[in-house]
Amino acid sequence: MAPRATWKGYVKLAELAFPVSLYAGVTTSKRISFHVLNRKTGHRVHRQYFDEETEEPVERDRQVKGYEAGDAQYVILQPEEIAEAVPESDKTLRIKGFIPCPDIDTVYFDRPYFLAPPDGILGESFAVIREGMRRKNVAALARAVLFRRVRTVLLRAQGPGLVANTLNFDYEIRAAADVFKDLPEMKIEGEMLDLAKHIIETKAGDFDPRAFDDRYDQALAELVKAKMEGREIKAPKRPKETKVVNLMDALRESARAKTGQSKKPSTARRKKAEPAQRRKAG
């Protein structure tokens, strides 16, 4: 089934505008999902809200949103008042500027989307902007009302289309300095640094997301399949505990493993050499 656009509108750059469709870049539809059942009857159950004081159930038409302004004090917001606060959308992604791709801080990334011309018809304006961004290796920063909120969107060229990432606002991002402030400065040099660089070089590769599997989801799928087939469910093997070893010894051992060396062959060579040396001495 062809993907369905989640939003349709226009990209606008100065006086230039062209139509686009926005497609969700991720989906959870292939994950294993469960329903909550009544253990006794096997019937599905549903959620219900209760008044925490009276313990009476509260139906949907009696529910209202409230902002806690103090101890058990709430500011009540009516649905129509909240609706009025939602910004009006003109279905336009307005490009505010361009930034070099290496300058992008990915910590601000929220959700990925794909941006393409509607109906799969590649327009000249779309192609020109995309190719210009690719050649200059820049990303576009745009603003639009998406899904009831004003959002900042980062656009980058990818293949024949564009990748769009909604960005978190600055107030939503924790400052890295607050997390790292208690970490002491440490000067790393000499053999330790050389070994670390050597290990990194020998493990260099390409990013291939297909190489990373969702072991939890796979285990759930196997569990469901085994239950359906009436097979015995075997407990998975637990990974061995990681042993804490001396850092330099660990680096040296890792470096030997990556270059195809190990301690055992050299020991074997010494053992074979010893009888010959003794015969020569005799």
36 vs 257, higher pLDDT: 36
The amino acid at residue 170 is D
pLDDT at 242: 61
Alpha carbons 73 and 203: distance in angstroms, whole number = 57
pLDDT at 112 over 50: yes
Reply yes or no on whether the pLDDT at 91 is more than 90.
Answer: yes
Q: What is the mean pLDDT of residues 160-167?
A: 95
If DSSP codes are grouped into helix, strand and coil, which group holds residue 231?
Answer: coil
Burial classification of residue 153, based on how many CB atoms lie within 10 Å of its CB (0-12 exposed, 13-18 middle, 19 or more buried): buried
For residue 201, what are the CA distances in angstroms to 195, 204, 206, 209, 242?
10, 5, 12, 20, 24
> What's the rounded mean pLDDT across residues 178-183?
88
Average pLDDT over residues 97-120: 92
Average pLDDT for 176-199: 85
Q: Write phi, then psi, for 100 (nearest 5 degrees).
A: -60, 140
Span 194-206, average pLDDT: 83
3-state secondary structure of 6: coil
145 band by pLDDT with thresholds 50, 70 and 90: very high
> pTM for this structure?
0.74
Q: Which one is predicted more confidently, 3 or 251? A: 3
Residue 37 DSSP one-character state: B
The reported pLDDT for the residue numbered 264 is 45
Mean pLDDT of the chain: 84
Q: Which residues is 37 bridged to in the sheet? A: 44
